[in-house]
Amino acid sequence: AFANVARAPEDPILGVTVAYNKDPSPVKLNLGVGAYRTEEGKPLVLNVVRKAEQLLVNDRSRVKEYLPIVGLADFNKLSAKLILGADSPAIHGNLVTTVQCLSGTGSLRVGAEFLARHYRERTIYIPNPTWGNHTKVFTLAGLTVKTYRYYDPVTRGLNIQGLLEDLESAPTGAIVLLHACAHNPTGVDPTLQQWEQIRQMIRSKSLLPFFDSAYQGFASGSLDGDAQSVRMFVGDGGECFIAQSYAKNMGLYGERVGALSIVCRTADVASRVNSQLKLVIRPMYSNPPIHGASIVATILKDRNLYHEWTLELKAMADRIITMRKHLFDALGARGTPGDWSHIIKQIGMFTFTGLNRKQVTFMTKEYHIYMTSDGRISMAGLSSRTVPHLADAIHAAVTT
């Protein structure tokens, strides 16, 4: 029955890891997927996560019953507080409904499915470029995906003019996907003043903002600092969707823990929206897994554990910033042609190098360096030990 099934291509991001795993070279380096590595090149489980897990294991009253369809109540409350701020009027007014979902992707998908069923406008504008999975998530949920201008390859910065023009010509009510911070793949974020321009445009056209917040704490090292864009939009009293992921900032990648928050105009609407979210979730995966959300809730509700988390998070963010400096200096030392200052200007986990597909292929073939074909490298996968190898490869790629 399936003899004619065609072989599908690997995922553009996760497929990089598949190719990396097959390479026997001892110098191989995986800078594809955005996953944090230590200076030793090893995956990191945060200390505070280990502590929380220990507490959970020792608590014999804990059982493995099903969670409610919308997930762990504590986790949902604390997640909304983390992104919106403890003093958020939207929280105090019960205008926010939050449901636990399967990390960032699951939160985006549940939000998209809800929109496809209950929202009048079916077009969503996503930045060009954006995380490769965005188009698929929204298209498969039944929305029409269009792009707005975002990145300017000439300045290697934000094309704010193009962005505002594209939002201005979007149909009234269209959905707009925004990266809350640390834009993936470019590492280019609007300034606060530009965010304010974007907010005004979105509100004046009655567009619906949908934030993807996958890196809270990773852009500036501050959890509050990285939530400023979202808080500006929620602060004006308008509606807003937010998908949160704990994959990066708590290192809980494989636990698949995230949340979707929808900020509504009244508490009554929020509770009706919540009732409909249950109808979206139940036939998809019934209810979410318990372990990851319990870890997050344990950390967020304990003052000491929370503080410890912020320190570990800052240490990860700082190490990435140090790698940016090292790589920039290493290219300078080699006299590599071109302006590489974007490496230290861009923020978050990634550098959008400007290397083209051919150069990327060359680096993989000759230097066993694995990265996405758009020239994005995960700075979190670099270490002091591997920077020279990468700098050699980039130098060779742009000079041969």
By CB under 6 A, the residues from 221 to 240 that bind ligand LMR are: none
Active site residue 212: yes
Query: 251 is written with which tokens?
Result: 């290192």
**Nearer to ligand LMR by C-beta: 190 or 348?**
348
> In the 8-state DSSP scheme, what is residue 111?
H
Active site residue 189: no
Pairing of strands 208-213, 175-179: parallel
**Nearer to ligand LMR by C-beta: 299 or 379?**
379
Q: Which residues of 138-172 are buried (b: 16+ CB within 10 A; e: fewer)?
A: beebebebebbbbbbeeebebbbeebbebbeebee
| Amino acid identity, position 135 | T
Choose the catalytic residue: 166, 189, 248, 392: 248
Q: Mind giving me the DSSP string for 131-166?
A: -THHHHHHHHTTPEEEEEE-EETTTTEE-HHHHHHH
Residue 130 binding ligand LMR, by CB under 6 A: no
**Nearer to ligand LMR by C-beta: 8 or 154?**
8
Report which secondary-structure segment, H or E, holds 334. helix 303-334
Residue with the two structure tokens 């704010």: 160
Residues contacting 226, CB < 8 A, separation 6+: 180, 181, 182, 213, 215, 216, 217, 218, 219, 220
Minimal distance in Å, beta carbon 13 to ligand LMR?
Answer: 4
Select from 36, 114, 125, 131 the one that contacts ligand LMR (CB under 6 A). 131
Minimal distance in Å, beta carbon 20 to ligand LMR?
Answer: 13
Residues touching ligand LMR, count (CB under 6 A): 6
Angle among Cα 141, 199, 269 to the nearest 5 degrees reads 55
Choose the catalytic residue: 131, 166, 226, 340: 131
Minimal distance in Å, beta carbon 296 to ligand LMR?
Answer: 18
CA distances from 129 to 148, 177, 184, 194 (A): 9, 12, 8, 18
By CB under 6 A, the residues from 150 to 209 that bind ligand LMR are: 184
Minimal distance in Å, beta carbon 63 to ligand LMR?
Answer: 31
**Nearer to ligand LMR by C-beta: 131 or 233?**
131
Active site residue 131: yes
By CB under 6 A, the residues from 314 to 373 that bind ligand LMR are: none
**Nearer to ligand LMR by C-beta: 32 or 71?**
32
Minimal distance in Å, beta carbon 133 to ligand LMR?
Answer: 6
Residue with the closest Cβ to ligand LMR?
34
Peptide bond preceding 337 in cis form (omega within 30 of 0): no
Residues contacting 326, CB < 8 A, separation 6+: 382, 384, 387
**Nearer to ligand LMR by C-beta: 137 or 167?**
137
Choose the catalytic residue: 166, 212, 226, 392: 212
By CB under 6 A, the residues from 15 to 34 that bind ligand LMR are: 33-34
Minimal distance in Å, beta carbon 256 to ligand LMR?
Answer: 11
CA distances from 63 to 57, 211, 237, 285 (A): 10, 34, 40, 20
Contact 100, 257 (CB under 8 A): yes
Minimal distance in Å, beta carbon 179 to ligand LMR?
Answer: 11
Residue numbers of the site for ligand LMR (CB under 6 A)? 13, 33-34, 131, 133, 184
Residues with active-site annotation: 131, 212, 248
